[in-house]
Amino acid sequence: MDNRDTLIEVRNLKKFFSIGDNTLKAVNDISFEIKRGETLGVVGESGCGKSTAGRTLLRLYDATGGDVLFEGKSIMNLNNQEMKAMRRNMQMIFQDPYASLNPRMTVGDIIGEALDIHGLATGQKRKERIQELLSLVSLNPEHMNRFPHEFSGGQRQRIGIARALAVEPKFIVCDEPISALDVSVQAQVVNLLEQLQEKMGLTYMFIAHDLSMVKYISDRVAVMYLGKMVELAESDALYEKPLHPYTQALLSAIPIPDPEVERNRERIVLQGDVPSPMNPPSGCHFRTRCPKAMPECAASVPVWKEVEPGHFAACHLYN
């Protein structure tokens, strides 16, 4: 693959948390890359490590191991000053628009804070830039002196998007940016993200658990389970021909609007609950719920490999 096309490269990334005497392996040895201008969707059940992966990738959490390269340069050993400069390239849109905006600050100051930190604009220029950013996300620039509580959930998420765009980043981690919003508003926010991507050449990592929305917005999709990445492929390839039994089960749960197809297809109902990430099963973490589990699934961790061109999976069925 041409490295000039790769914006982000993640190599064997790990993030462990110590809880008492135990270790929670939230992100356990994942590797992938994100190409310039694409959207990589990341899906999986709650608690599988998707959001932790996004935050560790941006160094909001310090990684336990592994490396993240931005435009070929490792960001893991950058000092505070270098990391501050790097933050202009990498931003985040948070999940909860109610919790991620400071209620005591005006919208203008919330968006302007990034301009202040990076010394990008002062005085009249600052005001014009804030108004320009509000217009960009389809909000009234005259409302910059209002407070977050005066806006709806969808509008607050737009404010969060404007804040992320203030420093003109190349890469944005969208951490479940629509899960706290009404369904009617979700599509508006996703369409806005797509328009901004086209206009500004942005690259996204889009974290979500709504599989149909991920299919809509993503060029490629990665599936996570208990801190591990189990499958990664072009969006169409993953939805048409999922290789990993976990992905097959997830996709079988998406309703299909055609009643004939819906009646005749097989739902894969997984047995049991997700095991505790504090004490995952040996070998393949999914084996305790997998309808296709074999003896070797308990004995060894499946290798992450390219099963078909551009289609990666970690499953003993393909070794």
| CA gap 193, 206 in Å, rounded | 10
Contact 219, 20 (CB under 8 A): no
pLDDT averaged over 10-residue windows placed end to end, the chain, 319 residues: 78 94 92 96 91 95 95 94 94 90 95 94 94 96 95 94 96 92 89 95 93 90 95 95 93 76 72 84 93 93 94 93
Q: Which amino acid, residue 169?
A: P
Tell me the C-alpha distance between 306 and 226, whole Å.
Answer: 21
| Conformational region of residue 277, where left means phi above 0, alpha means psi within -120 to 50, and beta covers everything else | alpha
Q: What is the pLDDT of residue 262?
A: 64
pLDDT of amino acid 271 = 77
Strand arrangement, sheet containing 6-19: 22-35, 6-19, 65-70, 73-74
Q: Give the Cα separation of 97 and 152 in Å (integer).
A: 9
Quick check: 176 and 51 in contact, CB under 8 A? yes
**pLDDT computed for residue 254 by the predictor:** 75
261: Cβ–Cβ under 8 A, 6 or more apart, which residues? none
**Domains within the chain, CATH numbers bracketed:** 3-89+169-318 (3.40.50.300), 102-168 (no CATH)
